[in-house]
Structure 1
Amino acid sequence: MAKYSEKASKKVEQAIHTEKEGKLRTGTGKKVTSRKQAIAIGLSEARKEGAKVPQKKD
Protein backbone atom coordinates (compact mmCIF):
# COMPACT_ATOMS: atom_id res chain seq x y z
CA MET A 1 0.00 0.00 0.00
CA ALA A 2 1.15 3.55 -0.70
CA LYS A 3 2.81 5.54 2.08
CA TYR A 4 1.40 8.93 2.98
CA SER A 5 3.10 11.53 5.14
CA GLU A 6 1.79 12.82 8.46
CA LYS A 7 1.05 16.17 6.80
CA ALA A 8 -1.04 14.49 4.10
CA SER A 9 -3.04 12.62 6.74
CA LYS A 10 -3.79 15.87 8.57
CA LYS A 11 -4.93 17.56 5.35
CA VAL A 12 -7.32 14.70 4.55
CA GLU A 13 -8.62 14.73 8.13
CA GLN A 14 -9.29 18.48 7.89
CA ALA A 15 -11.07 18.10 4.54
CA ILE A 16 -13.35 15.34 5.86
CA HIS A 17 -14.17 17.39 8.95
CA THR A 18 -15.03 20.42 6.82
CA GLU A 19 -17.16 18.25 4.52
CA LYS A 20 -19.13 16.93 7.49
CA GLU A 21 -19.85 20.51 8.53
CA GLY A 22 -21.15 21.17 5.02
CA LYS A 23 -18.61 23.90 4.29
CA LEU A 24 -16.28 22.14 1.84
CA ARG A 25 -16.55 23.33 -1.77
CA THR A 26 -15.13 22.13 -5.06
CA GLY A 27 -13.03 24.32 -7.33
CA THR A 28 -16.19 25.47 -9.14
CA GLY A 29 -17.92 26.42 -5.89
CA LYS A 30 -20.31 23.47 -5.62
CA LYS A 31 -20.82 21.75 -2.28
CA VAL A 32 -18.88 18.52 -1.78
CA THR A 33 -21.33 15.68 -1.21
CA SER A 34 -19.20 12.55 -0.90
CA ARG A 35 -16.43 11.37 1.36
CA LYS A 36 -14.34 10.35 -1.67
CA GLN A 37 -14.42 13.93 -2.97
CA ALA A 38 -13.27 15.21 0.43
CA ILE A 39 -10.35 12.77 0.49
CA ALA A 40 -9.33 13.76 -3.05
CA ILE A 41 -9.38 17.45 -2.13
CA GLY A 42 -7.30 16.79 1.01
CA LEU A 43 -4.68 14.85 -0.97
CA SER A 44 -4.60 17.50 -3.66
CA GLU A 45 -3.96 20.26 -1.10
CA ALA A 46 -1.23 18.16 0.53
CA ARG A 47 0.45 17.67 -2.88
CA LYS A 48 0.44 21.43 -3.47
CA GLU A 49 2.16 21.98 -0.11
CA GLY A 50 4.85 19.45 -0.98
CA ALA A 51 3.79 16.62 1.34
CA LYS A 52 4.78 13.04 0.55
CA VAL A 53 1.81 11.81 -1.45
CA PRO A 54 1.87 9.30 -4.33
CA GLN A 55 1.28 10.63 -7.84
CA LYS A 56 -2.25 10.89 -9.19
CA LYS A 57 -3.27 8.00 -11.46
CA ASP A 58 -4.19 9.23 -14.93
Structure 2
Amino acid sequence: MEKVTAARRTLVTTIDRWFHLDRPLLVEAGQTYWVDWKRRELCVDRGDGQVRRFPGWVCR
Protein backbone atom coordinates (compact mmCIF):
# COMPACT_ATOMS: atom_id res chain seq x y z
CA MET A 1 0.00 0.00 0.00
CA GLU A 2 1.17 3.47 -0.82
CA LYS A 3 0.94 6.33 1.64
CA VAL A 4 -2.49 7.99 1.55
CA THR A 5 -3.29 11.52 2.70
CA ALA A 6 -6.83 11.85 4.00
CA ALA A 7 -8.84 14.49 2.14
CA ARG A 8 -11.34 14.68 5.01
CA ARG A 9 -11.88 13.15 8.44
CA THR A 10 -12.02 9.38 7.87
CA LEU A 11 -12.91 6.45 10.11
CA VAL A 12 -10.53 3.61 9.24
CA THR A 13 -11.37 0.00 10.09
CA THR A 14 -10.11 -2.00 7.09
CA ILE A 15 -7.51 -1.23 4.42
CA ASP A 16 -7.36 -2.93 1.02
CA ARG A 17 -9.76 -5.62 2.32
CA TRP A 18 -6.73 -7.40 3.84
CA PHE A 19 -5.68 -5.36 6.86
CA HIS A 20 -8.09 -4.99 9.78
CA LEU A 21 -7.44 -2.70 12.72
CA ASP A 22 -7.97 -4.01 16.24
CA ARG A 23 -10.00 -0.84 16.93
CA PRO A 24 -11.44 1.76 14.51
CA LEU A 25 -9.26 4.84 14.10
CA LEU A 26 -10.21 8.40 13.18
CA VAL A 27 -7.72 9.94 10.72
CA GLU A 28 -8.03 13.71 10.35
CA ALA A 29 -7.90 15.64 7.08
CA GLY A 30 -4.30 16.17 5.94
CA GLN A 31 -2.88 13.24 7.92
CA THR A 32 -1.01 10.53 6.03
CA TYR A 33 -1.42 6.81 6.69
CA TRP A 34 -0.07 3.50 5.38
CA VAL A 35 0.30 -0.14 6.44
CA ASP A 36 3.61 -1.56 7.65
CA TRP A 37 2.92 -5.11 6.43
CA LYS A 38 5.94 -6.68 8.17
CA ARG A 39 4.95 -5.35 11.60
CA ARG A 40 1.21 -5.58 10.89
CA GLU A 41 0.58 -2.02 12.01
CA LEU A 42 -1.18 1.00 10.57
CA CYS A 43 1.18 3.98 10.59
CA VAL A 44 -0.23 7.49 10.85
CA ASP A 45 1.81 10.66 10.36
CA ARG A 46 -0.27 13.24 12.17
CA GLY A 47 1.80 16.11 10.79
CA ASP A 48 3.86 16.83 13.91
CA GLY A 49 6.88 14.82 12.71
CA GLN A 50 6.00 11.72 14.70
CA VAL A 51 4.50 8.53 13.31
CA ARG A 52 2.03 6.67 15.52
CA ARG A 53 1.43 2.95 15.04
CA PHE A 54 -1.76 0.98 15.60
CA PRO A 55 -1.96 -2.83 15.67
CA GLY A 56 -4.08 -4.89 13.35
CA TRP A 57 -4.26 -8.24 11.64
CA VAL A 58 -4.11 -9.55 8.09
CA CYS A 59 -6.95 -11.56 6.58
CA ARG A 60 -5.81 -14.08 4.00
TM-score over 0.5 (shorter chain): no
Structure number with greater Rg is 1
TM-score, normalised with respect to structure 2: 0.27
Higher strand share: 2
Higher helix share: 1
Of structures 1 and 2, the one scoring higher in RCO (CA 8 A, sep 6+) is 1
